[in-house]
Structure formats: C-alpha cells, structure tokens
Copies of this chain bind each other. A is one copy, B any other.
C-alpha cells in the first residue's frame, strides 16, 4: 500500500507503472482498476482559471491510510496506491489517483470506487477556485453513487 501527498504536479500513469513494477505480484493479480481525477476548466457553469488545494497535513495521510486498510479488509487486494495533489493546481492537472490490484475484477472495481467515494466525502482536502470574478471555496463535492 502506498499513499502519497504531493505539492508538485504528478504523472498518474507513471505512478501506476512504478508502483506495479515494485509489487512483484505479476501473475497473481488479474485485474487492476484505476481512477484519475483531473482539473476541469469549468465548474457549475463558470470558467475556472486555477485552484488552490488546502489539506490537513498529518490527518490527510492517516485518513487515506485508514480508507485503504478498510478497503483491504473488505476486498482481497494485492496492491493499493493513492496519490493526491495539493497546492496550486492548473487546468488539466491530475488531482487524484486511486489504483488497486486484485485477482478478480469485481474486487478491483468495487474497492477502487469505495476508496474514491470515501476520499471525496471524508479526506480533509478543500478546493478554492479562481474564476474571472475572484476566488471562491468549493462548497461541497457532487454525490457519488448514482445507481
């Protein structure tokens, strides 16, 4: 399991490759599910120029670790990788990466989704968007499961 908070831009596909290369579980996992969240150029109909991502250092890492451990109790996972950006974020920058490895696809899909939903609803991050009209705090995340 790896949790990484970074103030610098990161390359999610390279992170997945590096983590997988170190896993040494080749032939054991048959399924990996990967989610990448990145910055859009608009929100609620308004153009966004950039964003500040604040977090609660210490709690963030601890909380993400707890989420990943809970996912590992619920599903038989062979690998879990979470990377989250902080600081000044520009359009199209990756913000979050969640990747999981398991023997079968149901566990991979469901645990990846589970981690993302928990991260969205409870990991201590806050976004402040810069629009042409100034800055504003994002009030809440969009709801997750729709089905």
Which A residues form the contact surface with B (CB < 8 A)?
Answer: 13, 16-17, 26-41, 91-92, 103-106, 108-110, 112-113, 116, 120, 142-147
Contacts and interface: CB of A to CB of B under 8 A. Distances in A.
B40 A36 contact: no
Given A29-B40, A105-B120, A106-B146, 4 more contacts: A27-B41, A29-B38, A34-B36, A110-B147
Contacts of A142: 104, 106
A105 B40 contact: no
Q: How many copies of the polypeptide does the oligomer hold?
A: 2
Given A106-B144, A142-B104, A146-B106, A36 B32 contact: yes
Contacts of A112: 33, 109
Given A13-B13, A13-B17, A27-B92, A145 B106 contact: yes
A88 to B, nearest CB: 16
Contact of A32 (B35, B39, B103, B110): B35
The 10 tightest CB contacts between A and B, nearest first, are A27-B41, A26-B92, A34-B34, A30-B40, A27-B91, A106-B146, A13-B13, A32-B36, A27-B92, A109-B113
